[in-house]
Amino acid sequence: MPATTNRPEFALATKSIFEQEPGFENPQETTSSPHRRWNHSTVEQDLENIRSWLSTEAPGSLEINCIAEAQFTELEDRINQEDLRLRYDWDPENQRLSLFMASPLHEVPGGWMGSLLEWLQRELRLVCRCGTPSLINGCSGIVEYPNGRRMAPDTGIFVQYAIQPEIGPEIRVIVPFPRVVLETAFSQSLEDARRKIHAHLHLSDEHTHVGILCNVKKPVTCEEDFWATIEVWTRDIDENNTDDQLPYEVIDFKHEQRKLEEGVEPVINSGEYSPSPTLAGSDPDVTLTAETDGVTWPESGDGKKMRRRWGPVVLIKEGAKTSRGVPADDPRPGDTLPLNVYDFLRVCREHDGPGMWMDPNELLLPLDSLKEKIMDMVLFNRESIRKKSQKTSAQPLPPPPPPSAPTKRGNPFKEMRSFKRSKE
């Protein structure tokens, strides 16, 4: 396929849904978790430091530098033996190990993403031309990349194809790396979450198309100043030149294209595709983002970069009001996160051409349930804080007085004998 072939445009930048107001802190400056770091000395000392770190009330994240692969492997075995359930990012190139303990609030966005897989799978099967796709929730399982780097995303979504060749039984092909990853910046820092998404996008032989980042204010307090945002990142590429940037799935056998279900338009020409610039739940006249869509990260350096395709969009912003005077912490029904068919699937090498492309439908992921689950967990945390505060601030009752010693009485018979009668 020539590099100049134009595929339908499907990478859209959208406007945010709340108005930026004074007093709304820059999310990048307020979500850094308590971060501890040290250089590796011995595995036993590292393990002792990890235990000490975990004993704190809010561990935040931890970084061990100058640790070679052999020592990392030994430390990993010891961590697993003690069932510490830590999430980590092992970077052999820089000999750096980043660790954090995921809290219940940290896990909410990943659970939300997993709850949508059945619906997403059904939508993808309506338009997929080659094979029957299935989505597999890799959750936070370890992903090992070709350069030896090992990471546990907060959620990794894998794609599997069931393909019927012209001759022989059905064949199943699973993509080796997650197609979509989600990272949450809460128990880990915002910088760590972005660094992991960048690595997923560029170390996966370009199998990973999208990274979703949910940024949550930390710590949760009883003050009504909580906020959370969400954004979508992709590799910083020219999406019209897909020869090298969106490589084909490796399928070394002949097969027929699937017959799509009745009532579903199988293909559309690129000239006919005109996506709406406004998504459900958004207002084209209201903007709030402090940063512009299309920002690349990292900002400096000559290496590969990633680009923010959408967002950041505010999910929750307590105490603020929109331009229409509506409290921003009230859920606004219809808010969605836009992905599309090509974020999960690819064009088949055998069936490439304008008449064979898949319909690049947008997949609008509903955000209402995510907002509700985040706020439920925030309210739960606040209630726990209040109970703990009441318990520690309550005046202790004075100790009961010691029981008084019983009065020792004499023998009444002796008392009677000692009693002298007087003569009348």
Per-state percent for the chain, helix, strand, coil, to nearest 5: 25, 20, 55
Domain of residue 156, residue span = 27-33+104-265+272-388
pLDDT attached to residue 35: 73
Whole-number Cα distances in Å, 188 to 15, 53, 86, 191, 196? 27, 14, 11, 8, 11
**Cis amide leading into 219 (omega within 30):** yes
Kindly state the helix (H) or strand (E) to which residue 235 belongs, with its residue range: strand 227-235
Question: Is residue 98 assigned to a domain?
Answer: no
C-alpha torsion sign, points 7, 356, 271, 346: negative
Locus of tokens 């990392």: 72
Q: H helices within 128-272, ranges in order?
A: 190-203, 242-245
CA angle 168, 171, 173 (to 5 degrees): 155
d(CA 136, CA 158): 5
User: In sequence order, what are the beta bridge partners of 296?
Assistant: 307
How many residues are listed for the chain in this entry? 424
pLDDT attached to residue 259: 73
Question: Is residue 280 assigned to a domain?
Answer: yes
Question: Is residue 317 assigned to a domain?
Answer: yes
Question: Is residue 99 assigned to a domain?
Answer: no
Question: Is residue 424 assigned to a domain?
Answer: no
pLDDT attached to residue 74: 93
Low-confidence ranges of the chain (pLDDT < 70): 1-34, 57-58, 237-253, 260-294, 299-302, 320-334, 393-397, 404-424
Question: What is the token pair recorded at 58?
Answer: 């809010």
Residue closest to 107 by CA, chosen among 140, 81, 131: 140
Question: Is residue 65 assigned to a domain?
Answer: no
Question: Is residue 156 assigned to a domain?
Answer: yes
Report the relative pairing of strands 155-163 and 171-174 from DSSP bridges: antiparallel
CB-CB contact of 16 with 200 (8 Å): no
Provide the phi-psi class of 290: left if phi over 0, else alpha when psi is between -120 and 50, else beta: alpha
CB-CB contact of 322 with 18 (8 Å): yes
Question: Is residue 210 assigned to a domain?
Answer: yes
- Our count of domains for the chain comes to 1
